[in-house]
């Protein structure tokens, strides 16, 4: 049976891994839409290779290049934020949502409203609009499959189990490239050093988030929405080898863990084939070669991001959206050389310390909170 597929963020790491998987199963997939922020030539080449119905750039200034690259084909070229939503609403059987940042909020909601299956790799959607999104999923009968390696691991460990029997859900964290660095060393960390993740090949934003541990803080909030056991039953453990991607402990003392290589094709394949399985080209685990697995408590003095995220979740309302927006501003400032590595968490904390706007009750209000928080973070950033 052939299924239709849309990939929101086709030229990023998640999108590229998804396309790599379906290259081996071309007879099972029909690509409806591929999107990118710009990367018009790359997007056009992928759209032609996979015979997509449409290709969409979020940045409308790139549309002319996209149309030129698709000239002579029947592939529809579109551009702009509304076009991203049209692509998401194209009615694909499976939509892989991998747009980084709050730019992915509206397209994800458009996909949910179709009532189909969404493989969610956009952290910010659940962090900033978790309540609104989960209500929409239930209202429209959509199926939400977590694609982050940690949440996908939890999803697999919970399969067929009763949520009331869960004692703990444990998110594992690699600790990033600076796990053993002192506070003094962290203050001098460079952009190049922060972008060298020891285990995973990811985009710049996510890689920096891993280095600060904000990635794990955002994932904590995601897990809170996806797996409603309560914040007090969610914990984080640093696991440098990134072999165990997460664990679920049950009230009888049993702990189920999902293990796999540090390759995003594994959780993506889990979502694409769900509730079945599919072949991948991922190298199998060689446990004797790995030899040992280590676990540590997170250090929230050197890496306060997880503490800030938990506090934002506890505060509720607009706090998670403000946390996310401020972090995006801070990461961009660090990548641009405007602030030091340790100032990322400080800027987020300073933004959260200001009076918060009212709790958003719609996607439009979430986007308004996001915009307001970004402006506030930028104003705080100005003297830095």
Structure confidence by residue, pLDDT tens digits, 326-378: 999 999 999 999 999 999 999 999 999 999 999 999 999 999 999 999 999 99
Q: Are 342 and 290 in contact (CB under 8 A)?
A: no
**Is 150 known to sit in a ligand binding site?**
yes
Confidence of residue 383 (pLDDT cuts 50, 70, 90): low
Percent of the chain at pLDDT > 70 equals: 99
Topology given in CATH for the domain delimited by 3-146: Rossmann fold (3.40.50)
**Is 11 known to sit in a ligand binding site?**
yes
Percent of the chain at pLDDT > 90 equals: 93
What stretches of the chain adopt beta strand conformation (E)? 3-8, 29-36, 54-57, 76-79, 94-97, 117-120, 143-146, 166-173, 234-238, 244-250, 255-259
| pLDDT at residue 346 in the model | 97
C-alpha to C-alpha distance for 326 and 290, rounded to whole angstroms: 38
134 has a pLDDT exceeding 90: yes
**Is 205 known to sit in a ligand binding site?**
no
**Is 354 known to sit in a ligand binding site?**
no
**Is 216 known to sit in a ligand binding site?**
yes
**Is 203 known to sit in a ligand binding site?**
yes
| pLDDT at residue 201 in the model | 67
**Is 215 known to sit in a ligand binding site?**
yes
Confidence of residue 100 (pLDDT cuts 50, 70, 90): confident
**Is 221 known to sit in a ligand binding site?**
no
CATH 3.40.50.720 location in the chain: 3-146
Name the CA radius of gyration of the chain, rounded: 20
114 has a pLDDT exceeding 70: yes
């Amino acid at each position: 049976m052939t299924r239709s597929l849309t990939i929101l963020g086709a030229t990023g790491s998640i999108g590229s891994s998804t396309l790599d998987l379906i290259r081996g199963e071309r007879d099972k997939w029909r690509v409806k839409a591929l999107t990118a922020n710009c990367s018009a030539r790359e997007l056009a080449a992928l759209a032609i290779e996979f015979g997509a119905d449409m290709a969409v750039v979020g940045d409308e200034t790139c549309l002319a290049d996209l149309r030129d690259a698709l000239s002579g084909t029947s592939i529809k070229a579109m551009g702009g934020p509304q076009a991203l939503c049209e692509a998401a609403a194209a009615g694909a059987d499976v939509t892989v949502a991998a747009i980084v940042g709050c730019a992915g909020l509206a397209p994800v909601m458009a996909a949910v409203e179709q009532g189909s299956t969404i493989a969610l790799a956009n952290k910010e959607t659940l962090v900033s609009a978790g309540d609104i999104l989960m209500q929409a999923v239930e209202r429209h009968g959509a199926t939400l499959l977590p694609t982050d390696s940690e949440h996908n691991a939890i999803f697999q460990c919970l399969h067929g189990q009763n949520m009331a029997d869960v004692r703990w859900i444990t998110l594992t964290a690699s600790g990033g490239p600076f796990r053993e660095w002192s506070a003094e060393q962290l203050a001098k960390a460079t952009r190049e050093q922060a972008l060298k993740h020891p285990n995973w090949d990811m985009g710049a934003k996510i890689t920096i988030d891993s280095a600060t541990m904000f990635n794990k803080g955002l994932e904590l909030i995601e897990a809170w929405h996806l797996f409603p056991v309560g914040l007090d039953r969610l914990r984080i453990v640093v696991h440098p080898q990134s072999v165990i991607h997460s664990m679920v402990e049950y009230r009888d003392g049993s702990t189920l863990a999902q293990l796999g290589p540090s390759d995003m094709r594994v959780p993506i394949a889990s979502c694409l084939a769900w509730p079945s399985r599919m072949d991948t080209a991922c190298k199998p685990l060689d446990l004797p070669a790995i030899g040992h697995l280590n676990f540590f408590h997170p250090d929230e003095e050197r890496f306060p991001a997880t503490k800030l995220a938990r506090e934002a979740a506890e505060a509720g309302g607009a706090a998670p959206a403000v946390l996310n927006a401020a972090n995006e501003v801070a990461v961009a400032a660090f990548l641009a050389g405007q602030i030091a590595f340790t100032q990322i968490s400080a800027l987020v904390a300073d933004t959260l310390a200001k009076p918060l706007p009212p709790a958003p009750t719609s996607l439009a209000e979430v986007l308004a909170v996001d915009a307001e928080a970004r402006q506030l973070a930028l104003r705080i950033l100005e003297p830095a």
